[in-house]
């Protein structure tokens, strides 16, 4: 096993000079300032040095003053390999300002020994860690095979005409693998393209030592920053040193209260309290705007310039949310933020408290404009198995026993590592994809509408699909004029008169969802 691989594959040319040029354009009476206008150019060495010093002084002044939009113009695209899923969840995807395309565990089989091994683990601790990770890989491969028969039964119940088809065999394997991955450790490696602006990379570098995966973060982010400086060395003038973890607010709280990163007794009290509020649900709505529907309707009227007497609340909401009247909602691209009328959907807000597996939450957090306050994961560690079980696992007793045994063995190993003094950060990498993540998530209606359209589709991952159903129904209970239009893509396209109704082509889920009410949705795989 080797460490992370970081390659800068694309960056805007002359990035540093572009940063300066965009800043000077703000105050230019002669038009756009070009990159060539800020370059040192030719001339006497003293004059070149004077221009260079002036440029760096401006850069440092802009940076200190917080004028950072000038650094958003340049984007850098990295190819990252051999980075852990835990690092991606905790750091790379924990904010809105990025774009990633990463290998899917749903469709690509994981390879043995493809997992993160903390460098600080040595001797007996290293042996314990490796034995657990390899056993988890064995469980994953066993479950991938054992789940094929129950998946096959569910698959052919949905696709009655695909018996024996080559595609069916492939689909069944993928669906079995999708559930089996819950046994994999969050240490499992991934590879991805990750694109960010320069200011985001500078922010990464400053906070790279925060919880949960500080050692891996420091290593990967340092390599990203080094790759930037090799291409554009002048950025060294504004690249800050990483903030020590002791200066982060989370660490400061723990230190002031004599707390540790892992505290099983406190975690048990917290998780019991959280789960008691959640009940049997995956997601519950805990807050919403008291005047959501009226505010939405009023904003529609103001956009159109119509007095209340000319357009009722119900009619106004139909104008913006009924795809038959707002045809943009049936388009394959999300055009809502570019539409004057659709932007009224920004005003209603909803907040949910929810519990998902690490695997499902890694999907959920990709909806970066419905942000969540995700935890320092080991602060929720109780020392007892605390995980989500995919519905298909319940179809076979032998499979369920193997899965439960895998979870128990994993928690026993983590407890053993903690007992011999290994850090919670290192031990946490052995947590399975199934581990429960508890958090609160909020969103405006515009971005929730888009999220529901993606995740109410029967092709969405089963766990996040169930959470989305609960959230759509919760919204409909308090705001029925709004909630009735939270629908999957096929239903939106049906109302918009788009053909074909399902946009997925040969990925069609096999169910005419557009003919079914949300509270009647059913699926196992």
User: How many Cα atoms are found within 13 Å in the side-chain-facing hemisphere of 3?
Assistant: 12
What pLDDT sits at residue 236? 96
- Residue 441: phi and psi, rounded to 5, are -135, 140
Does residue 2 surpass a pLDDT of 80?
no
- Cβ-contact 370, 351 below 8 angstroms: no
Question: How many angstroms separate the Cα of 405 from the Cα of each of 76, 135, 218, 411, 440?
Answer: 44, 11, 35, 10, 30
Global pTM value: 0.95
Domain region containing 17:
5-81+190-249
What pLDDT sits at residue 41? 65
Per-residue confidence band for 43, with pLDDT thresholds at 50, 70 and 90? low
Does residue 232 surpass a pLDDT of 80?
yes
CA distance 452 to 489: 9
pLDDT tens digits, residue range 405-451? 999 999 999 999 999 999 999 999 999 999 999 999 999 999 999 99
Residue 68 covered by a domain? yes
Question: Lowest-pLDDT range, 248-262, 264-278, 378-392?
Answer: 248-262
Rounded to 10 degrees, the C-alpha dihedral 20/23/24/30 comes to 120
Peptide bond into 508 cis (omega under 30): no
Residue 69 covered by a domain? yes
- Contacts of residue 65, defined as CB under 8 A and 6 or more positions apart, other chains included, come to none
In the DSSP assignment, the letter for residue 444 is: E
Residue 263 covered by a domain? no
- For the chain, what percent of residues have pLDDT higher than 90? 89
**Which of residues 44 and 100 earns the better pLDDT score?**
100
- Cβ-contact 267, 379 below 8 angstroms: yes
pLDDT tens digits, residue range 303-351? 999 998 999 999 999 999 999 999 999 998 999 999 999 999 999 999 9
pLDDT tens digits, residue range 156-178? 999 988 887 888 999 999 999 99
Does residue 373 surpass a pLDDT of 70?
yes
pLDDT tens digits, residue range 449-468? 999 999 999 999 999 999 99
- Average pLDDT, integer, range 287-296: 98
What pLDDT sits at residue 18? 94
- Average pLDDT, integer, range 216-234: 97
460: three-class secondary structure by DSSP:
coil
- Mean predicted lDDT score pLDDT of the chain: 95
What pLDDT sits at residue 335? 94
What pLDDT sits at residue 42? 59
Angle at 438 between CA 249 and CA 407, to 5 degrees: 115
What pLDDT sits at residue 47? 76
Residue 135 covered by a domain? no
pLDDT tens digits, residue range 74-84? 999 999 999 99
Residue 58 covered by a domain? yes
What pLDDT sits at residue 499? 92
- Average pLDDT, integer, range 239-264: 93
SS (H, E, C) 238-290: CCCCCCCHHHCHHHHHHHHCCCCCCCHHHHHHHHHHHHHHHCCCCEEEEEECC
| Helices and strands in the chain, H and E counts | 20, 7
Question: How many angstroms separate the Cα of 213 from the Cα of each of 57, 86, 424, 524?
Answer: 35, 7, 10, 34
Per-residue confidence band for 50, with pLDDT thresholds at 50, 70 and 90? confident
Q: Which two tokens stand for residue 353?
A: 């408290």
- Cβ-contact 444, 255 below 8 angstroms: no
Per the structure, the count of domains in the chain is 1
Question: How many angstroms separate the Cα of 450 from the Cα of each of 282, 320, 328?
Answer: 20, 14, 12
Per-residue confidence band for 37, with pLDDT thresholds at 50, 70 and 90? confident
Q: Scan for tokens 């909806």, then name that residue.
A: 367
Q: Scan for tokens 């300002």, then name that residue.
A: 97
Does residue 144 surpass a pLDDT of 70?
yes
In the β-sheet with 189-197, what is the strand arrangement from edge to edge?
5-11, 75-84, 189-197, 99-102
For helices 198-207 and 214-231, give the axis angle rounded to 10 degrees. Answer: 140
Residue 129 covered by a domain? no
The CB density around residue 107, as the number of other CB atoms within 10 Å, is: 12
What pLDDT sits at residue 1? 58
* CATH number for position 53: 3.30.1360.170
What pLDDT sits at residue 490? 95
Q: Which two tokens stand for residue 8?
A: 């800068």
Residue 44 covered by a domain? yes
CA distance 334 to 332: 7
Residue 345 covered by a domain? no
In the DSSP assignment, the letter for residue 185 is: B
End-to-end CA distance of the chain: give it in Å, rounded: 34
Query: In terms of Cα–Cα distance, which of 417, 431, 418 is closest to 125?
Result: 417
Q: Which two tokens stand for residue 447?
A: 């971005």
Pinpoint the alpha helices (H) of 88-188: 123-146, 148-158, 166-180
Angle at 468 between CA 435 and CA 460, to 5 degrees: 75
């Amino acid at each position: 096993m080797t460490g992370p691989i970081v390659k800068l594959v694309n960056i805007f040319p002359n990035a540093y000079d572009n940063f300066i040029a965009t800043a000077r354009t703000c105050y230019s009476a002669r038009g756009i300032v070009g990159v060539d206008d800020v370059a040192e150019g030719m001339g006497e060495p003293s004059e070149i040095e004077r221009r260079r010093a002036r440029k760096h002084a401006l850069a440092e002044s802009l940076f200190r003053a917080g004028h950072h939009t000038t650094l958003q113009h340049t984007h850098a695209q990295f190819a990252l390999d051999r980075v852990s899923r835990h690092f991606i969840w905790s750091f790379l995807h924990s904010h809105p300002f990025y774009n990633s395309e990463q290998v899917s565990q749903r469709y690509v089989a994981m390879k043995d020994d493809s997992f993160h091994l903390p460098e600080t683990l040595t001797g007996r601790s290293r042996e314990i860690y490796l034995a657990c990770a390899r056993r988890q890989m064995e469980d994953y491969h066993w479950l991938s095979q054992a789940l094929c028969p129950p998946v096959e039964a569910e698959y052919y119940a949905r696709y009655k005409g695909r018996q024996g088809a080559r595609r069916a065999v492939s689909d069944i394997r993928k669906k079995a693998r999708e559930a089996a991955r819950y046994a994999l450790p969050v240490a499992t490696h991934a590879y991805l393209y990750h694109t960010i602006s320069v200011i985001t990379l500078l922010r990464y570098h400053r906070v790279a030592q925060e919880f949960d995966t500080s050692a891996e973060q420091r290593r990967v982010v340092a390599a990203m920053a080094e790759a930037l400086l090799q291409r554009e060395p002048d950025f060294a003038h504004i690249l800050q040193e990483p903030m020590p973890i002791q200066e982060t607010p989370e660490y400061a709280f723990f230190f002031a209260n004599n707390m540790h990163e892992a505290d099983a007794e406190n975690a048990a009290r917290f998780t019991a309290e959280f789960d008691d509020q959640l009940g049997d649900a995956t997601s519950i709505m805990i807050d919403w705007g008291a005047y959501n529907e009226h505010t939405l309707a009023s904003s529609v009227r103001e956009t159109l310039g119509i007095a209340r007497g000319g357009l009722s609340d119900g009619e106004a909401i139909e104008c913006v949310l009924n795809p038959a009247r707002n045809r943009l909602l049936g388009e394959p691209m999300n055009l809502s933020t570019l539409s004057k009328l659709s932007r009224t959907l920004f005003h209603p807000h909803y907040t949910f408290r929810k519990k998902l597996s690490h695997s499902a939450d890694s999907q959920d957090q990709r909806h970066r404009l419905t942000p969540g306050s995700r935890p320092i994961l080991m602060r929720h560690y109780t020392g007892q198995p605390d995980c989500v079980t995919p519905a298909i696992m319940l179809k076979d007793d032998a499979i369920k026993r193997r899965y439960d045994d895998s979870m128990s063995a994993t928690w026993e190993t983590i407890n053993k590592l903690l007992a011999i003094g290994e850090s919670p950060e290192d031990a946490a990498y052995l947590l399975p994809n199934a581990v429960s993540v508890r958090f609160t998530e909020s969103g405006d209606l515009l971005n929730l509408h888009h999220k529901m359209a993606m995740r109410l589709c029967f092709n969405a991952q089963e766990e996040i699909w169930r959470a989305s159903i609960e959230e759509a129904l919760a919204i409909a209970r308090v705001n029925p004029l709004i909630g009735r239009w939270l629908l999957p893509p096929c239903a939106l396209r049906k109302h918009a008169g788009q053909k074909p109704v399902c946009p997925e082509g040969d990925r069609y889920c096999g169910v005419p969802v557009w003919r079914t009410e949300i509270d009647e949705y059913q699926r196992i795989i």
